[in-house]
Amino acid sequence: MRLKEKTHRKFVEFFEKISTMYQGKDFELAYSDIQRETGAASVTLKRAIQALAEDGVIEVQPGRNSRYARFKYLLAAQDIDENSTDALSSESQGSENLDKEETPHSGRVFESMTEDVGELLQLVDHLKRRVRNQEMAIALLQDRLAEIEDKIRKR
């Protein structure tokens, strides 16, 4: 019941992206949103979630109803540990290269601005997904309306 490498990678990247958007906290998603975002069939979605849970990539709990689930991306903690180690080593190297004119305060301002930009990028990405979902819903409604109009014209 293993997944293809490409499918596995697609789901890992999806959960990683969503986890970053929620800053590593638990999040609740509709299965339909995951399907829409990954382009996977419902059977593949179920297999992928089960496989990722078995591999220790995500933790899955029941959501508010059967169409939702609560997820926790478990690899985020490992990524944070690795990134913090890398950041500490780069900070120590970077501090040696600081000009005498630069103050410690300017570094904090830069970090704060970087965090703000990161949050804004996540919010924009979230809004883009919402717009895309709404556009898809509108297109579906237009198709259904066209079908109804065709049935009415045939009568």
36-79 pLDDT tens trace: 999 999 999 999 999 999 988 999 999 888 899 999 998 865 55
**pLDDT value of position 2:** 75
Strand partners, 30: 68
Q: What global pTM score does this model have?
A: 0.50
Determine the number of helices (DSSP H) and then strands (DSSP E) in the chain: 5, 3
Residue 72 sits at φ, ψ, to 5 deg, of -135, 125
By the 8 A CB rule, do 16 and 75 touch? yes
For the cut 70, the answer to whether the pLDDT of residue 85 exceeds it is no
**pLDDT value of position 96:** 47
Cβ-Cβ contacts under 8 Å for 68 (sequence gap 6 or more): 28, 29, 30, 31
When the pLDDT of each residue in the chain is averaged and rounded to a whole number, the result is: 80
The rounded distance, in Å, linking the Cα atoms of 143 and 155 is 19
111-124 pLDDT tens trace: 778 888 888 888 88
